């Protein structure tokens, strides 16, 4: 058989086998990337349940995990490394994206009562509106204090600085959704929800984006033309994790796909973040539940902020 055809068939066969492995993961084409991440006999563990629709996965420097229940929640919730869950900021706006910034504030994409990009002081929850009349979906905040959010409807990435100056950073993306940064903060990655690409952009010192390219290709189910590329995160080795219809697709730092980590349940999994002790646990917002699994990897992008002592309380 032609060697290229043989490799293609092997990758396709691996993808077909994936559906029969609901709690583990599947390497594609014999790549060993997932073996460098997943731990034998370690599976997804249920952290909390009984929610409406969980989203906004994020972590702080101490390994606490945060999320929002868009279905029926009214507070940003916190899960400590030992698994205790509590309200972190009560009476918060509905948040579809959450990230801590280098200034110690918690940045959020809000979906109600207004659609805005905001920054909240912790632990008080005092809100500063950075972008009003916006359509933010998900976000990431750089070490230099630039917030980047995806405007899914307009196909854009929007850049907002700490003073609220707003500009378009990139456009022409097919329903951009998840967004993350490489560990060195020099590359921004954006997933397509209705397409099959993960775009990467070079980040300049002034926060602007250039050299956009379709750097990674998301796998799709046989029954769908789109990937459902959603929330994203990065580990300390520069690997990218993107939630999708099929599961959490993992790419190495060069953009090569190495495998798909199965979703915790058959329901959608829309956002992930590394948190817990040593940031070695991959947490997942999976519909009405929160899960985590221990890995060999460690998360990137955690800030040692001036508010670190407040986050411990």
Q: What is the pLDDT of residues 208-236, one digit of tens each?
A: 999 999 999 999 999 999 999 999 999 99
| Cis status of the peptide bond prior to 113, with omega within 30 of 0 | yes
The whole-angstrom separation of Cα 175 and Cα 30 is 31
Q: What is the pLDDT of residues 81-132, one digit of tens each?
A: 999 999 999 999 999 999 999 999 999 999 999 999 999 999 999 999 999 9
pLDDT at 305 > cutoff 70: no
Identify the three-state secondary structure at position 18.
helix
Q: Measure the CA–CA gap between 86 and 139, rounded to whole angstroms.
A: 23
Residue 71 C-beta-side C-alpha neighbours within 13 Å: 12
Q: What is the CATH number of the domain that holds 158?
A: 2.120.10.30
- 195 falls within a domain: yes
- Indicate the average pLDDT of the chain: 89
Is 90 inside any structural domain?
yes
Residue 146 lies in a domain: yes
Range of the structural domain that residue 186 is part of: 22-311
**Assigned domain for 5 exists:** no
**pTM (two decimals):** 0.88
Contacts of 87 (CB under 8 A, 6+ apart): 75, 76, 77, 78
Q: Considering the domain boundaries, does residue 16 fall inside one?
A: no
Averaged pLDDT for residues 4-24: 38
- Is the model's pLDDT at 137 over the cut of 80? yes
pLDDT of 110 reads: 98
Would you say residue 44 lies in a domain? yes
Selected residue with higher pLDDT from 9 and 140: 140
Number of structural domains, the chain? 1
Residue 225 lies in a domain: yes
**Percent of residues, the chain, with pLDDT higher than 90:** 84
pLDDT at position 253 is 93
114 vs 265: CA distance, rounded Å = 31
Residue 169: inside a domain, yes or no? yes
Give 61-64's long-range contacts (Cβ < 8 A, gap of 24+): 61/100, 61/302, 61/303, 61/304, 61/305, 61/308, 61/311, 62/308, 62/311, 62/312, 63/275, 63/276, 63/277, 63/278, 63/279, 64/275, 64/311
pLDDT digits (tens, 9 = 90+) for 158-194: 999 988 899 999 999 999 999 999 999 999 999 999 9
Q: What is the pLDDT of residue 33?
A: 86
């Amino acid at each position: 058989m032609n060697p290229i055809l043989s490799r293609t068939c092997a990758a396709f066969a691996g993808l077909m086998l994936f559906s029969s492995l609901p709690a583990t993961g599947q390497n594609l084409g014999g790549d060993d990337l997932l073996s460098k991440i997943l731990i034998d006999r370690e599976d997804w563990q249920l952290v909390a349940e009984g929610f409406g629709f969980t989203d906004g996965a994020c972590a702080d420097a101490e390994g606490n995990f945060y999320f929002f229940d868009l279905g029926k929640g009214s507070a940003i919730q916190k899960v400590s490394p030992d698994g205790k869950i509590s309200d972190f900021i009560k009476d918060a706006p509905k948040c579809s994206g959450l990230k801590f910034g280098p200034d110690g504030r918690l940045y959020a994409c809000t979906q109600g009562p207004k659609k805005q990009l905001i920054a909240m002081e912790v632990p008080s929850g005092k809100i500063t509106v950075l972008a009003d009349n916006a359509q933010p979906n998900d976000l990431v905040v750089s070490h230099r204090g630039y917030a980047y959010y995806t405007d899914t409807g307009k196909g854009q990435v929007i850049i907002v600085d700490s003073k609220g100056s707003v500009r378009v950073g990139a456009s022409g993306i097919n329903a951009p959704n998840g967004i993350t940064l490489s560990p060195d903060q020099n590359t921004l990655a954006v997933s397509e929800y209705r397409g099959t690409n993960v775009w990467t952009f070079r980040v300049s010192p002034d926060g602007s984006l250039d050299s956009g390219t379709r750097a990674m290709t998301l796998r799709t189910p046989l029954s769908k033309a789109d990937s459902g590329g959603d929330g994203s995160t990065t580990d300390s080795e520069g690997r990218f994790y993107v939630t999708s219809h099929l599961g959490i697709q993992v790419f190495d730092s060069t953009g090569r796909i190495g495998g798909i980590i199965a979703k915790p349940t058959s329901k959608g999994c829309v956002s992930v973040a590394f948190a817990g002790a040593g940031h070695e646990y991959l947490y997942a917002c999976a519909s009405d539940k929160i899960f985590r699994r221990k890995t060999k990897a460690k998360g990137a992008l955690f800030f040692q902020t001036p508010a670190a002592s407040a986050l411990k309380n």
